[in-house]
């Protein structure tokens, strides 16, 4: 991705940056382009700005087609009918910047690399914080860049390390030694193989699947298992952190090597918010993790001991992000679950609108409280996270003013977010995060101050311990840097030191 982590002060949710999907078929008379389309459609939630695919055409050429827009628009029937190849990879992208230069097709993926020695296409989800350093070294070695992206840095690094060898697993092993970042990468080679690689800490999800029909065998690699479901594939397993997988239309799927570390840093936000609920990530069902998050919130909730509230309470999710958590909470609390907020599905990107008044109007257009079920009730409102707090404040107001709620008790499945993400998630800056800002201002009473600011009658966040318990992974397996401020990558620590010293010099 272009190296910028956050694109402006408008949104109130972090954003995942990309999705990747690959297919290899052992029947050279069969085109996988429609399967790439189906996989990418299922992964649309991970990137909506642009999409692209690379296919190995008969004769060994790689053809890449990529455009701005949703999958259904870019890969329409007319385009798909012209794209032919039995092996291919695809990518969905989110914009991380509004800068003009980044709308050039060079900045879209897959990134198709070709020189006199090597040709391949690469699709990447993640970020490489030390990319500028690597770029400088590669430029000093005479490499010429056409973009300012970590994607191209990876491609140029691969090209450099491939001089004199065709041993792809070894090239990728060496590549990973230089990359201090979060990444899931798939590569289509001109020999018709796909290589999939996940960083040794396993920040980004990646999994493999297959479909054996009797007529032909198909092998898949996908950011999430819902992509494999969408092509009727059988989910086989997750790619392990640090693993390099070879997917060959001639030789099936096999693991080339696993570059081990003694701990992992799987992004906890995948379970809380990013991933589709029907996906399984690193052996854990996302919907079940979310329901457990709701259950643990209910187990610790003091208001459930107050019969004045419980006799009058309903559990309401913020659609769609709070739904599974609310189901888990309601089940544990033995309270009715009611979809008391109607979402208008035809309004896109509510949280992208600039300006407080426009955002407020947009929330009203997008969400409507159903007065007949809300009025006079104690609403236990469930959502996944509070980032800036602006949208949540408006939702609480809406429930009270338009819905006639008696009280609103806000329950959040993610602990307070106090630090930005430098691992490829598009996040607001620290000064915009309400929990960080209020902690600096109010110290230990910051949660009560957030409650007052949002206008809720009570506020309960998930604890970090219950978060790990709900995901069924230990602290040593998860990245929780946005909750703790402790980052698992050396290159991020360097960036933070620089940012801190800039911030200090300004005060």
Of 89, 482, 489, 492, the residue at the interface with ligand SF4 (CB under 6 A) is: 482
Residues 440-469 that bind ligand SF4 (CB under 6 A): none
Is 18 a known active-site residue?
A: yes
Which one of 5-13, 17-25, 432-440, 480-488 is the stretch in contact with ligand SF4 (CB under 6 A)?
Answer: 480-488
Q: CB 495 → ligand SF4: shortest distance, Å?
A: 13
Contacts of 238 (CB under 8 A, 6+ apart): 205, 206, 207, 208, 280, 281, 282, 283
Work out whether 425 is an interface residue with ligand SF4 (CB under 6 A): yes
Of 43, 53, 123, 423, the residue at the interface with ligand SF4 (CB under 6 A) is: 423
Q: CB 469 → ligand SF4: shortest distance, Å?
A: 16
- Residue 417 sits at φ, ψ, to 5 deg, of -90, 115
Residue number closest to ligand SF4, CB atom? 421
Nearest CB to ligand SF4, comparing residues 249 and 480: 480
Nearest CB to ligand SF4, comparing residues 24 and 421: 421
Work out whether 387 is an interface residue with ligand SF4 (CB under 6 A): no
Residues 62-81 that bind ligand SF4 (CB under 6 A): none
Q: Select which of 18, 207, 421, 482 is catalytic.
A: 18
Write the DSSP symbol of residue 247. Answer: E
Nearest CB to ligand SF4, comparing residues 411 and 480: 480
Q: CB 15 → ligand SF4: shortest distance, Å?
A: 10
Number of residues that bind ligand SF4 (CB under 6 A): 11
Q: CB 217 → ligand SF4: shortest distance, Å?
A: 35
Nearest CB to ligand SF4, comparing residues 347 and 498: 498
Nearest CB to ligand SF4, comparing residues 247 and 387: 387
Q: CB 480 → ligand SF4: shortest distance, Å?
A: 6
Q: CB 277 → ligand SF4: shortest distance, Å?
A: 18
Of 108, 138, 333, 479, the residue at the interface with ligand SF4 (CB under 6 A) is: 479
Of 253, 471, 481, 489, the residue at the interface with ligand SF4 (CB under 6 A) is: 481
Q: CB 177 → ligand SF4: shortest distance, Å?
A: 21
Per-residue buried b or exposed e for 151-183, using 16+ beta carbons within 10 Å of the residue's own CB: bbbbbbbbbbbbeeeeebeebbbbbbebbbbbb
Q: CB 183 → ligand SF4: shortest distance, Å?
A: 12
Contacts of 343 (CB under 8 A, 6+ apart): 319, 320, 366, 367
Residues 251-280 that bind ligand SF4 (CB under 6 A): 267-269
Q: CB 385 → ligand SF4: shortest distance, Å?
A: 10
Which one of 34-42, 99-107, 333-341, 420-428 is the stretch in contact with ligand SF4 (CB under 6 A)?
Answer: 420-428
For residue 327, how many other CB atoms are within 10 A of its CB? 19
Q: Beta strands of 115-181 (E only): which ranges? A: 119-127
Distance CA 188, CA 155 (A): 12
Q: Find out whether 126 and 424 touch, Cβ atoms under 8 Å.
A: yes
Of 287, 325, 421, 435, the residue at the interface with ligand SF4 (CB under 6 A) is: 421
Contacts of 313 (CB under 8 A, 6+ apart): 303, 335, 377, 378, 379, 380, 409
Nearest CB to ligand SF4, comparing residues 219 and 273: 273
- Residue 58 sits at φ, ψ, to 5 deg, of -55, 135
Respond yes or no on whether the N-terminal peptide bond of residue 243 is cis (omega within 30° of 0).
no
Q: CB 265 → ligand SF4: shortest distance, Å?
A: 7
Distance CA 187, CA 244 (A): 11
Of 203, 219, 337, 461, the residue at the interface with ligand SF4 (CB under 6 A) is: 203
Distance CA 396, CA 403 (A): 10
Contacts of 441 (CB under 8 A, 6+ apart): 449
Looking at the chain, the number of H-run helices and the number of E-run strands are: 19, 23
Give the contact letters, 162-201, x = binds to ligand SF4 (CB under 6 A), - = no.
----------------------------------------
Of 112, 246, 359, 480, the residue at the interface with ligand SF4 (CB under 6 A) is: 480
Helix 286-299 × helix 464-471 angle, to 10°: 140
Q: Find out whether 175 and 239 touch, Cβ atoms under 8 Å.
A: no
Nearest CB to ligand SF4, comparing residues 135 and 479: 479
Nearest to 226 by CA among 185, 292, 285, 157: 285
Nearest CB to ligand SF4, comparing residues 205 and 369: 205
Which one of 292-300, 322-330, 474-482, 495-503 is the stretch in contact with ligand SF4 (CB under 6 A)?
Answer: 474-482
Distance set, CA 193 to CA 55, 80, 380 (Å)? 11, 21, 51
Q: Which strand ranges, in their side-by-side order, compose the sheet holding 119-127?
A: 111-114, 119-127, 182-189, 193-198, 243-248, 252-258
Distance CA 81, CA 403 (A): 50
Residues 229-248 that bind ligand SF4 (CB under 6 A): none
**Pairing relation of β-strands 207-212 and 193-198?**
unpaired
Q: Is 213 exposed, middle or buried (0-12, 13-18, 19+ CB in 10 A)?
A: exposed
Nearest CB to ligand SF4, comparing residues 71 and 482: 482
Annotated active-site positions, please? 18
> Residue numbers of the site for ligand SF4 (CB under 6 A)?
203, 267-269, 421, 423, 425, 479-482
């Amino acid at each position: 991705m272009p190296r910028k982590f956050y694109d402006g002060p408008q949104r109130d949710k972090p954003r995942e940056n990309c999705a990747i999907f690959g297919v290899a078929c052992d029947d050279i008379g069969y085109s996988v382009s429609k399967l790439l389309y189906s996989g990418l459609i299922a992964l649309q939630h991970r990137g909506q700005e642009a999409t692209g695919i690379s296919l190995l055409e008969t004769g060994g050429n790689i053809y890449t087609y990529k455009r701005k827009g949703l999958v259904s628009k870019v890969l329409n029937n007319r385009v798909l009918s012209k794209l032919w190849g039995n092996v291919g990879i695809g990518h969905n992208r989110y914009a991380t910047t509004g800068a003009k230069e980044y709308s050039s097709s060079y900045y879209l993926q897959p990134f198709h690399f070709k020189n006199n020695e090597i040709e391949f296409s690469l699709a990447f989800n993640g970020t490489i914080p030390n990319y500028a350093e690597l770029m400088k070294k590669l430029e000093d070695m005479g490499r010429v860049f056409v973009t300012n992206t970590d994607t191209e840095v990876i491609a140029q690094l691969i090209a450099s390390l491939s001089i004199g060898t065709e041993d792809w697993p070894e090239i990728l092993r060496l590549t990973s030694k230089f990359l201090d970042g979060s990444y899931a990468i798939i590569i289509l080679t001109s020999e018709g193989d796909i290589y999939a690689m996940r960083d040794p800490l396993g920040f980004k999800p990646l999994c493999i699947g297959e479909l054996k029909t009797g007529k032909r065998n198909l092998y898949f690699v996908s950011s999430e298992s819902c992509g494999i479901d969408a092509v009727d594939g059988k989910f086989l397993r997750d790619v392990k952190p640090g693993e390099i997988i070879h997917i060959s239309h001639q030789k099936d799927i096999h693991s080339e090597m696993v570059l081990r570390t003694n701990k992992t840093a799987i992004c906890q936000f995948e379970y809380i918010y990013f991933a589709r609920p029907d996906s399984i990530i690193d052996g854990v069902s996302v919907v079940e993790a979310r329901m457990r998050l709701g259950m643990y919130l209910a187990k610790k909730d003091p208001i459930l001991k107050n019969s004045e509230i419980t006799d009058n309470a309903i559990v309401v999710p913020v659609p769609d992000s709070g739904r599974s958590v609310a189901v888990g909470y309601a089940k544990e609390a033995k309270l009715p679950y009611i979809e008391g907020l109607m979402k208008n599905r035809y309004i896109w990107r509510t949280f992208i609108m600039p300006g407080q008044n426009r955002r407020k109007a947009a929330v009203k257009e997008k969400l409507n409280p159903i007065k007949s079920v809300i009025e006079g009730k104690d609403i236990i409102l469930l959502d996944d996270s509070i980032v800036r707090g602006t949208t949540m404040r408006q939702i609480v107001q809406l429930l009270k003013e338009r819905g006639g709620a008696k009280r609103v008790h806000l329950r959040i499945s993610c602990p307070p977010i106090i630090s930005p993400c430098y691992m490829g998630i598009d996040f607001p800056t620290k000064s915009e995060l309400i929990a960080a800002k209020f902690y600096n201002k109010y110290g230990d009473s910051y949660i009560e101050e957030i409650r007052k600011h949002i206008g809720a009658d009570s506020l309960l966040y998930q604890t970090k311990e219950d978060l790990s318990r709900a995901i069924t992974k230990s602290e040593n397996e998860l990245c929780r840097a946005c909750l703790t401020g402790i980052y698992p990558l050396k290159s991020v620590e360097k960036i933070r030191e620089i940012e801190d010293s800039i911030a200090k010099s300004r005060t």
